[in-house]
Amino acid sequence: MKFGTKAIHAGVEPDPSTGAIMTPIFQTSTYVQRSPGDHQGYEYSRTHNPTRTALQNNLAALENGKHGICFSSGLGAIDAVIKLFSPGDEIVSTSDLYGGTYRLFTKVFERYGIKFHFVPMDNPEKIEEKINSNTKMLWVETPTNPMMNIIDLELMGKIAKKHGVLLAVDNTFASPYLQNPLNLGADIVMHSVTKYLGGHSDVVMGALILNDDKLAEQLVFIQNACGATPGPQDCFLVLRGIKTLHLRMERHSQNGKTIAAYLKNHPKVEKVYWPGFEDHVNHEIAKKQMRDFGGMISFTLKGNSLADAKKVMEGFKLFALAESLGGVESLCGHPASMTHASIPKEEREKVGLVDSLIRLSVGVEDAEDLKNDLSSALAAI
């Protein structure tokens, strides 16, 4: 099936008891057994739930994977991945990544003896310098949050295979519609399902998708043993959201292109970070591994004034100042004080995350209205 057909049909069947075309919300904690151990595949809803099963199968199909595993948040999914490892193990991560991931790595798991190296992954030599006999995984975001850097996944796959380590990719910014890391050599794909997959700012959830049976068995064990599982209502909402994923991503990408071009030509804007520009350092790699360039954009203001950045964000009428991204409505955020505040200032600025940087999640509204909103807000400085 092509992507749009998979989004609507993969992993989903009409309910056999009623013929309902939508997957029912199995709002139950437990299941009746005919005899001890004699059940219909479901015992307890932390372990399995039919609504969650349908979603996990759908997500696996969208990423061209074999196994989908859902968690109560994106960080819950990342937490499960790191629990694969032991004290003394090392992980090499991109230096430009979501602040919550950085916080989980450095403030939680480093306490248990797992070591993390943060390097710019546009330079293979710097990655290989950090790989040693203790290295177990490469952790990659692309596009990165919030600097919109593009990392060559095919190259990362080759490096991981060469050194016998896992490659895990946070594919949240791209969604399965724009990019499929398993096809390019990844072992694990992670999504904050909260974002584009849910698409309507009404769910918090995470997911892992992979092909390896043994690795999937380990992660399913962690999912059940540690208990960070989503409820059936949230699974139902994500299944509903996914049915329009391809349509939404097309519009997000169209609007993203329009807004990025508008900002690039604005006299008060210093720099725009969006991989669709031909002068983006890794534009050709983005063209190779992505279907389109998406609706995530970051930009800085001339003068790098925090006060000016605040004025702009306070002046928006359509771009709501809020955490998160990927919903149908447009959002703006200030990474230095919001999503990436847990990263020390000196570390943020090493990757270009300055105080005036504003991150936009361009929604599916009319692009002219979004341009007018930007024009009005920028006029305040």
Positions marked catalytic: 46, 98, 170, 195
- Give dist(CA 259, CA 202) in Å, integer: 25
CB 197, CB 234: distance < 8 Å: no
For residue 269, what are the contacts with CB-CB under 8 A and spacing of at least 6? 263, 299, 300, 301, 302, 378
Nearest to 378 by CA among 296, 338, 319: 319
CA atoms within 13 A of residue 13's CA, in its CB half-sphere: 6
One-letter amino acid identity for 92? Answer: V
Distance linking the first and last C-alpha atoms of the chain:
50
- Could you give the strand order of the β-sheet that contains 296-301, starting from the edge strand earlier in sequence? 269-273, 296-301, 358-361, 331-333, 320-321
CB 82, CB 93: distance < 8 Å: no
CB 168, CB 140: distance < 8 Å: yes
The conformation of residue 106, written as its DSSP 8-state character, comes to I
- Give dist(CA 256, CA 141) in Å, integer: 19
Nearest to 100 by CA among 341, 298, 359, 348: 341
For residue 20, what are the contacts with CB-CB under 8 A and spacing of at least 6? 14
The conformation of residue 225, written as its DSSP 8-state character, comes to H
Distance of alpha carbon 135 from its chain centroid, rounded?
24
CA distance readout (Å), 369 to 95, 301, 310: 35, 21, 21
- Give dist(CA 55, CA 53) in Å, integer: 5
**H or E stretch covering 297:** strand 296-301
Residue 191, strand partner residues: 207
